[in-house]
Amino acid sequence: MEKQKEQFLKDYYQLTINLLEANEVELIEQLLQERGLCIEKVTELDQRNGAILMSEAIKGELMRIQPLERKLQEKLTSAKQKILAAIGSLQKEKTIKQQYGEPVAASVSGIFYDKRK
């Protein structure tokens, strides 16, 4: 069982490295799902054993994974911030368009019509 857990953790490590290098949304989503499956398998092994399996090799794998997890968290947080900023910008643009409606051609008489609702 320990060898299986160690292999799942190695797979998890490799998937995490791939995630750090990935830039396509579909690929990131797929890799996150595969990592989730690895976590489920590790949890299942621990539950079948009745205790958390922890050998020196497993501890070593976990220590290798830890810094990658931090980098991945930073990358995902940064991506989330960019997405939220883009959404905010679009919402602001939509609000402005709703307030003013379609732009009106400049009036020759010098009168300005404010189309805000």
Phi, psi of 24 (to 5 degrees): -85, 135
For the stretch 29-62, pLDDT in tens is 999 999 999 999 999 988 888 888 788 988 999 9
CB atoms within 10 A of CB 17: 15
Asked if residue 101 has pLDDT above 90, the reply is no
Q: Where are the domains of the chain?
A: 2-86
Average pLDDT over residues 9-23: 92
User: Which tokens hold the place of 30?
Assistant: 């797929």
Report the Cα 84 to chain-centroid distance in Å.
Answer: 12
Could you tell me if 71 and 20 are in contact, meaning their C-beta atoms sit under 8 angstroms apart? yes
Average pLDDT over residues 73-89: 93
Q: How confident is the model at residue 99 (pLDDT cuts 50, 70, 90)?
A: confident
> 45 in helix, strand or coil?
helix
The residue type found at 72 is: L
How far apart CA 37 and CA 51 sit, in angstroms, is: 20
How much is the pTM? 0.70
